[in-house]
């Protein structure tokens, strides 16, 4: 659904990981792999994040916001275990932003998934955006056993679904750094 954006577009962003200070879950605690990304959150937590997406996107249907949050959870679950190279689509990025705004929930979720995934602002560069980056991320998510909603993972130029997020995320050499670093990954 295409809806005009009545609010100013937020600044562009990217992702990076750093030193977390867990207060809700410790770095040694990992969540069991859920059957679906939706299972990562309680009903109340999921509803809270979904309403953040809705608040940021007036006119969006609740079903669409729910789909966005589910795919953002799948992205986060895989990104927390992958040292670099994953980028959300423009639409899924909206769900990632909503998760991040729930700071305690986001921190505990990241630490339970394997590492804290930071989100660092990065100016968009239309020439640097690549659908190949999104395709690699989708392949990684599917390889981890999750399904993706193909309508949410279109290329950076696609405007089928209008969202407030307007971010650029780096490609395979991008600045995603997971703390703690997944086992078997060399330090930089």
- Stated as kind and residue range, the H or E segment containing 14 is strand 14-16
pLDDT of residue 159 exceeding 80? no
Sorting pLDDT into bands at 50, 70 and 90, what band is 101?
very high
Predicted TM-score (pTM) of the model is 0.70
Under DSSP, the state recorded for 173 is T
Crossing angle of the two packed helices 90-101 and 43-56, in degrees rounded to 10: 120
Assess whether pLDDT exceeds 50 at residue 11.
no
CA distance 178 to 16: 8
Q: What is the mean pLDDT of residues 37-65?
A: 95
Tens-place pLDDT, residues 140-152: 999 999 999 999 9
Average pLDDT, the chain: 73
Q: Give the pLDDT confidence of 102-112 residue by residue, as tens digits.
A: 999 999 999 99
pLDDT of residue 129: 57
Quickly state the pLDDT bin for 9 (edges 50, 70, 90): very low
Going by pLDDT thresholds of 50, 70 and 90, the confidence category of residue 71 is very high
For residue 127, the 8-state DSSP code is G
Domain residues of the chain, as ranges?
Answer: 42-188
Q: Which tokens sit at 48?
A: 């809270």
Give first-to-last CA distance, the chain, whole Å.
42
| Mean pLDDT computed over 86-98 | 89
Tokens coding 159: 């405007």
pLDDT of residue 150: 93
- Average the pLDDT over each of 19-33, 112-126, 163-177 and give the range with the smallest value: 19-33
Residue 52 neighbours by CB distance under 10 Å? 20
Whether pLDDT at 6 is above 50: no
- How far is it, in rounded angstroms, from Cα 65 to Cα 50? 6
The pLDDT-based confidence of 171 (bands split at 50, 70, 90) is very low
The H or E element containing residue 119 is strand 118-120
**Per-residue exposure over 154-184, b if at least 16 CB sit within 10 Å of its own CB, e if not:** bebeeeebbbbbbbbbbbeebebbbeeeeee
Of residues 12 and 63, the one with the higher pLDDT is 63
**Residues 168, 128: contact at Cβ < 8 Å?**
yes
**14-25: burial string, b at 16+ Cβ within 10 Å, e else:** bbbbeebeeeeb
Tens of pLDDT, residues 57-68: 889 999 999 999
């Amino acid at each position: 659904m295409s809806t005009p954006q009545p609010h100013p577009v937020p600044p562009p962003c990217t992702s990076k990981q750093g030193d977390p200070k867990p207060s809700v879950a410790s770095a040694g605690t990992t969540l069991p792999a859920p059957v679906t990304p939706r299972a990562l959150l309680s009903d109340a937590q999921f509803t809270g994040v979904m309403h953040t997406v809705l608040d940021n996107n007036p006119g969006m249907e609740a079903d669409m916001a729910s789909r966005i949050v589910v795919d953002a959870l799948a992205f986060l679950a895989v990104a927390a275990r992958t040292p670099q190279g994953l980028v959300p689509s423009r639409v899924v990025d909206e769900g990632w932003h909503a998760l991040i705004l729930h700071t305690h929930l986001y921190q505990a979720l990241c630490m339970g998934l394997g590492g804290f995934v930071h989100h660092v602002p990065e100016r968009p560069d239309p020439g640097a955006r690549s659908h190949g980056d999104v395709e690699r991320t989708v392949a990684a998510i599917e390889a981890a056993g999750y399904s993706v909603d193909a309508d949410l993972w279109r290329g950076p130029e696609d405007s089928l679904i209008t969202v407030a997020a307007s971010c650029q995320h780096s490609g395979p050499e991008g600045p995603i750094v997971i703390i703690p670093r997944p086992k078997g990954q060399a330090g930089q």
